[in-house]
């Protein structure tokens, strides 16, 4: 992915670190693209709600609104587009956030 970003002139940061004030935890997103999108890349059997929550946490910490969760480990490429405010509202309505 990094090669393709460079080849196409897409501005990105790899493993951008975000300091969390709670217990000085440091999290890092796989890629931050053009200071607008958090991209989390996985190579696992299937995506779970925990992976979505992880991406939502990166969005909340970074103050960005759009996340892409991409999984290369399934039979074909699987991805989810995650909007911070939409997910918060859906979880609030379902009582799971």
* Rounded distance between C-alpha atoms, residue 87 and residue 89, angstroms: 5
Q: How confident is the model at residue 28 (pLDDT cuts 50, 70, 90)?
A: confident
DSSP assignment string, 18-60: EEETGGGEEEEEEEEETTTEEEEEE-SS---HHHHHHHHHHHH
Whether 23 shows a pLDDT value over 70: the answer reads no
Instruction: Judge residue 39's burial from the number of C-beta atoms within 10 Å of its C-beta, 0-12 exposed, 13-18 middle, 19 or more buried.
Output: buried
The residue assigned the tokens 């501005």 is: 11
Position 80 scores a pLDDT of 95
Domain ranges of the chain: 48-79
Classified as helix, coil or strand, 74 is coil
Decide if pLDDT at 30 tops 80.
yes
Q: Tell me which of 9-23, 26-40, 64-78 is least confident.
A: 9-23
């Amino acid at each position: 992915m990094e090669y393709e970003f460079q080849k196409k002139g897409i501005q990105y940061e790899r493993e951008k670190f975000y300091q969390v004030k709670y217990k000085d935890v440091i999290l890092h997103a796989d890629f931050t693209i053009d200071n607008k999108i958090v991209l989390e890349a996985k190579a696992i059997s299937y995506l779970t709600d925990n992976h979505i929550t992880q991406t939502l946490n990166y969005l909340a910490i970074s103050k960005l609104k759009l996340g892409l969760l991409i999984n290369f480990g399934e039979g074909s490429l699987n991805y989810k587009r995650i909007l911070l405010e939409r997910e918060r509202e859906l979880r609030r309505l379902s009582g799971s956030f």
